[in-house]
Structure 1
Amino acid sequence: MTVQNLLEKIREPWIHRLARDLARGAGVRENFEKELARFFNLLEQAILSGDPSWIDPVLFDWANSPTESDLAEGQYNLSTLVARANNFTFDVAKENLSPEESLELLSATSLVFSYALSKASHYESDKRVAYMANELATIQNKLEQLDRSKSNFISVAAHELKTPLTLIEGYTSMIIESITDAGAKNLLDGVKGGVKRLREIINDMIDVSLIDNSLLSLNFQPLWLKQALGLLEKELRPSCEAREISLEINPFEGDDQLIFADPERIHQALRNVLTNAIKYTPDKGKIIVDGRKLPGFLEVTIKDTGIGISLEDQLSIFEKFNQLGKASLHSSSKTGFKGGGPGLGLPITRGIIEAHGGTIWVDSPGCDEKTCPGTSFHILLPDRSEAADPKMEKLFGSETPTN
């Protein structure tokens, strides 16, 4: 008896038993029997032609038949279905054929079923990967929408807070000017200082919103890093002296070179990094500002002898609202050791530097409050010697002045 005759002999019991085992309900079983008959016909063609790829169309259709809920719950497994079909072929052949005929048939079907299992696994994997990719894209889209919503809320809240804050600030100043009691003035000075700090936080919130929405505008003007760092040294000297921290700014090649950048924003970015260094450097520590000239860039390095930053925190310190350590253990001082804050300074700094076409990164062996391994921040600023505004270019020229 030929293999074709053997296949015809087991066709009906094979289809009936497999449908009964895999399908539940008369209507479902009837439709499934049609699909199994199609599979069996292609199985026969694959065996007779010696080309197992005849089975591909039905496997492809079955691989694409599960619903989204089936994939989500992991209820559909094409490889299992093909394996069951192979097992039922063995069982039905044993029941309906002689041992010799069964061996001959199984020898003919084994190659096709082996191919079908491999192909089913491939189709199944592709389907699962496509589903997961779609799920990840959906989640990513939702996260981006959520982030935009948070950014918009921050922007609206910050602007809404500005109006009452301005009123508090104005009335406080008026009261200070109108009273003569020294004790009351001291209290009001405290209120004024708190209002000033709150305004700084609100401005940071607005800056974060601008950066998140790519709306940060830069006013490119001539800038000399030597002058910018000198101003920062004077501004931060009282904070450093109060904690006996040495702030050392070394001259470096390119620090007296004219570049075009936004002086106010660069001042803000460098101040944020220096303030951060002061926060996490113990009393009597040291902060060194250095730099070098690189092809197309000027690098500023701010190195401290502070407690350092753990490797895991180095991946997140430039994300907004991220804080190092436990907030409950932070002091409320802006420059006090481990002083607290909303976690906006470094994200704003990164946004400013990247808006200039530069980059910033951190390097630290780790965090240890006993050994204080320190931290180094590296800032790369483009060596932009030409102004974007033709009028500015005409006024200052494009060549670096010689001092």
Structure 2
Amino acid sequence: MLMDLAQTLDSLHDAWLEAALEALAQGEATRVGLRPQLERFYELLRQAAASGDPAWLDSIVYLWVWSQTVTDLDSEVITIAEALQRLIEVTIQVARERLTEGENLEFITALMPYWLHMLEYAANQEMRAQLDHTTAELERVQRELERLDKSKSDFISVAAHELKTPLTLIEGYAAMLRDVLEGAAPETLREQTRPFLEGIFRGSKRIREIVDDLVDVSLLDNNMLKLSFQPLWLGQIFRSLTDELAPVLEERRLTLKVHRFPGSERLIFGDVERLQQVFRNLLTNAIKYTPDGGRITVDGRLLPGFVEVWVADTGIGIAPEDQHIIFDKFGRLGDPQTHSSGKTRFKGGGPGLGLAIARGIVEAHGGSIWVESPGYDEEKCPGSTFHVLLPLREEPPDESGKSGIFSKLAAYLKKGE
């Protein structure tokens, strides 16, 4: 039976080759290039039939699969498995035309195991090839993203550095001009120029804040942020921020309620200025996205080894799909063109660095930060809650023997609590 199958294949060779070229090749040049490949395929099919081992076909299928170019894998070109399916259809058609009905049925039945093996092997190899290609493409995209991120970080660093000098000049000359006008100019001239000078000072102050944020982002990107661990009380930080933000809260008719939560008056170690920056950014963010007349609440709790603080608001909320974006650099939501001007106005604009900086500072302390919100709705205002988890450090990291000094100071301060 095996020799009969091989002999039948021999008898169908010429007709099969022409039919296969007709089915797969478009144009004479393609036919010339494809003919040796099809000849080799048919010879291996005959050897497989003669030996009874379908594995004879593996080499040609492997060659075809792994010879595909990146363009082939990315395009809509037919797969090798689809091409093999067409060759099977050609074989069935040629056999039907040249064999009797009984011979045809016996021939197709005998070839079935070889075809099934060939298709399964081709599918597996193509899956591996596609997986390798996809993995390589993902790695290429990852490298490109890392390159772009580094370019952005380099730009931020250079921009922050280059803006500092002219900004200092603007601030200095504006102060000198104010002093000259206040000292020698007529009252009328002083009154006329005062609004312009105040505008310069406000604008330069805002630019200074943005430049400082750019510097902080650059430090975080390059792992150069240095923390100065000192004794602190979270409650004191919030009392200071409440006084600082009081004018804005009054202007926006917002209510800020800071609870005396477990751990708020417990002495811990951290960078006071940086943690104040974190909670200032969170409170400012709550002010920005809470409509006038809304409420902001600060509360917390003690956990084993940690203190958790949350800042909740009655603002417009954040859509679930956007809740991971807001902690990225320049991670602003919505269309910037629809944002109002001003750092603390409702939906006020900004570079989108505050929450990214907050995350970097919190993580540098060994903590974590995240947000919860039912969703985004400017009418129902479901609100958002930002959580900060900080380690309960009872002494700072040991740096050049400072730990012992701070431990003694902490013990002294705890006695007075």
Residue 395 of structure 2 contacts residue 406 of structure 2 at CA under 8 Å; is this kept in 1?
A: no
TM-score, length-scaled by structure 1:
0.91
Counterpart in 1 of 2:104?
A: 102
How far has the Cα of 1:78 moved from its partner? 0.4
How far has the Cα of 1:272 moved from its partner? 0.3
Residue 179 of structure 1 contacts residue 185 of structure 1 at CA under 8 Å; is this kept in 2?
A: no
Bigger Cα displacement from structure 2, 92-101 vs 154-163? 92-101
Residue 6 of structure 2 contacts residue 47 of structure 2 at CA under 8 Å; is this kept in 1?
A: no
How far has the Cα of 1:396 moved from its partner? 1.9
Q: Distance in 2 between matches of 1:278 and 1:25?
A: 69
CA deviations 1:383-403 (Å, max 9, x no partner) are 233322253211122877362
Bigger Cα displacement from structure 2, 19-28 vs 101-110? 19-28
Bigger Cα displacement from structure 2, 346-355 vs 386-395? 386-395
The residue type equivalent to 2:348 in the other structure is G
Bigger Cα displacement from structure 2, 123-132 vs 145-154? 123-132
CA deviations 1:312-335 (Å, max 9, x no partner) are 332321122233344333332222
Q: Distance in 1 between matches of 2:369 and 2:324?
A: 12
The residue type equivalent to 1:289 in the other structure is V
Q: What is the DSSP-based 3-state SS (H/G/I as helix, E as strand, rest coil) of the residue aligned with 2:348?
A: coil
The residue type equivalent to 1:397 in the other structure is S
Counterpart in 2 of 1:287?
A: 296
How far has the Cα of 1:39 moved from its partner? 2.5
Q: Distance in 1 between matches of 2:129 and 2:402?
A: 58
CA deviations 1:60-88 (Å, max 9, x no partner) are 11111112222232324201221121122
**Alpha carbons of structure 1 residues 156 and 106: separation in structure 2 relative to 1, 3 Å:** same
The residue type equivalent to 1:378 in the other structure is H
2:118 is aligned with 1:116: yes
Q: What is the DSSP-based 3-state SS (H/G/I as helix, E as strand, rest coil) of the residue aligned with 2:124?
A: helix
Counterpart in 2 of 1:71?
A: 73
Residue 312 of structure 2 contacts residue 384 of structure 2 at CA under 8 Å; is this kept in 1?
A: yes
Q: Which among 252, 257, 273 is matched to residue 248 of structure 1? A: 257
CA deviations 1:9-37 (Å, max 9, x no partner) are 22343234424543467776456444334
CA deviations 1:357-394 (Å, max 9, x no partner) are 21111111122333322211101112233322253211
Q: What is the DSSP-based 3-state SS (H/G/I as helix, E as strand, rest coil) of the residue aligned with 2:385?
A: strand
Q: Which among 252, 260, 277 is matched to residue 286 of structure 2? A: 277
The residue type equivalent to 1:63 in the other structure is V
Q: Distance in 1 between matches of 2:110 and 2:46?
A: 10
Bigger Cα displacement from structure 2, 95-104 vs 188-197? 95-104
Counterpart in 2 of 1:224?
A: 233
CA deviations 1:150-174 (Å, max 9, x no partner) are 2211221121111011011011111
Q: Distance in 1 between matches of 2:32 and 2:375?
A: 66
Where does 1:82-93 land on structure 2 (aligned, <5 Å)? 82-93=84-95
**Alpha carbons of structure 1 residues 223 and 115: separation in structure 2 relative to 1, 3 Å:** same
What is the total number of aligned residue pairs between the two structures? 403
2:243 is aligned with 1:234: yes
The residue type equivalent to 2:64 in the other structure is W
Counterpart in 2 of 1:393?
A: 403
Residue 157 of structure 2 contacts residue 218 of structure 2 at CA under 8 Å; is this kept in 1?
A: yes
Q: Distance in 1 between matches of 2:107 and 2:392?
A: 77
The residue type equivalent to 1:102 in the other structure is N
Residue 9 of structure 1 contacts residue 96 of structure 1 at CA under 8 Å; is this kept in 2?
A: no
Counterpart in 1 of 2:389?
A: 380
Residue 255 of structure 2 contacts residue 296 of structure 2 at CA under 8 Å; is this kept in 1?
A: yes
Bigger Cα displacement from structure 2, 98-107 vs 39-48? 39-48
Residue 161 of structure 1 contacts residue 202 of structure 1 at CA under 8 Å; is this kept in 2?
A: yes
Residue 374 of structure 2 contacts residue 382 of structure 2 at CA under 8 Å; is this kept in 1?
A: yes
Q: Distance in 2 between matches of 1:248 and 1:238?
A: 15
Residue 7 of structure 1 contacts residue 105 of structure 1 at CA under 8 Å; is this kept in 2?
A: no
Q: Distance in 2 between matches of 1:60 and 1:192?
A: 72
Identity across the alignment (%): 47
Q: Distance in 2 between matches of 1:4 and 1:366?
A: 69
How far has the Cα of 1:267 moved from its partner? 1.0
Q: Distance in 2 between matches of 1:395 and 1:254?
A: 23
**Alpha carbons of structure 1 residues 163 and 10: separation in structure 2 relative to 1, 3 Å:** same
The residue type equivalent to 1:249 in the other structure is V
The residue type equivalent to 2:75 in the other structure is E
Q: Which among 206, 213, 220 is matched to residue 197 of structure 1? A: 206
Residue 63 of structure 1 contacts residue 120 of structure 1 at CA under 8 Å; is this kept in 2?
A: yes
CA deviations 1:242-269 (Å, max 9, x no partner) are 2232211111222223333222111111
Q: Distance in 2 between matches of 1:30 and 1:186?
A: 84
Residue 221 of structure 1 contacts residue 392 of structure 1 at CA under 8 Å; is this kept in 2?
A: no
2:305 is aligned with 1:296: yes
Where does 1:303-314 land on structure 2 (aligned, <5 Å)? 303-314=312-323
Counterpart in 1 of 2:277?
A: 268
How far has the Cα of 1:288 moved from its partner? 1.1
Residue 23 of structure 2 contacts residue 86 of structure 2 at CA under 8 Å; is this kept in 1?
A: no
- How much is the aligned-residue C-alpha RMSD, in angstroms? 2.4
2:358 is aligned with 1:356: no
Q: What is the DSSP-based 3-state SS (H/G/I as helix, E as strand, rest coil) of the residue aligned with 1:397?
A: helix
